[in-house]
């Protein structure tokens, strides 16, 4: 199995994938900040649930780690973004 060769030119405006040039936007490459926040919050919720069912000190650590990600993901949703 081989991986595609990717080249970027002009700060992400042109991309060459396996010999073919395509014009793309930066939004096509990067997730929006709200999507990233939702992913962090969702993964935090899943880790918290796993920690709750694990029990013991390992479960408590997992639950705390997951809750921290839930809080940070929610706070990140309300953070103002910089517009270029």
Total domains, the chain:
2
32-48 pLDDT per residue, tens: 667 888 889 999 999 99
Provide the domain limits for residue 14: 1-30
pLDDT value for 37: 87
**What pTM, to 2 d.p., does this model score?**
0.59
pLDDT value for 21: 58
Residues 67 and 40 in one domain: yes
Tokens linked to 73? 């993901």
Residues 26 and 43 in one domain: no
Residues 47 and 69 in one domain: yes
> Which one, of 66, 77, 76, 78, lies nearest residue 42 by Cα?
66
The answer to the question of residue 16 being in a domain is: yes
Contact 38, 27 (CB under 8 A): no
Contact 11, 22 (CB under 8 A): no
Mean pLDDT score across all residues of the chain: 76
Question: What residue ranges in the chain does DSSP mark as E strands?
Answer: 6-9, 14-17, 20-23
**Is the per-residue pLDDT at 57 higher than 90?**
yes
pLDDT value for 36: 84
């Amino acid at each position: 199995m081989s991986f595609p060769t990717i080249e970027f030119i002009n700060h992400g405006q042109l991309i060459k994938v396996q010999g073919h040039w395509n014009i793309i936007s930066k939004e096509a490459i990067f997730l929006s900040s709200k999507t990233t926040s939702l992913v962090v919050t969702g993964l935090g919720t899943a880790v918290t649930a796993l920690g709750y069912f694990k029990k013991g000190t390992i479960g408590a650590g997992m639950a705390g780690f997951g809750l921290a990600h839930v809080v940070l993901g929610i706070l990140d949703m309300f953070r103002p973004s910089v517009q270029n």
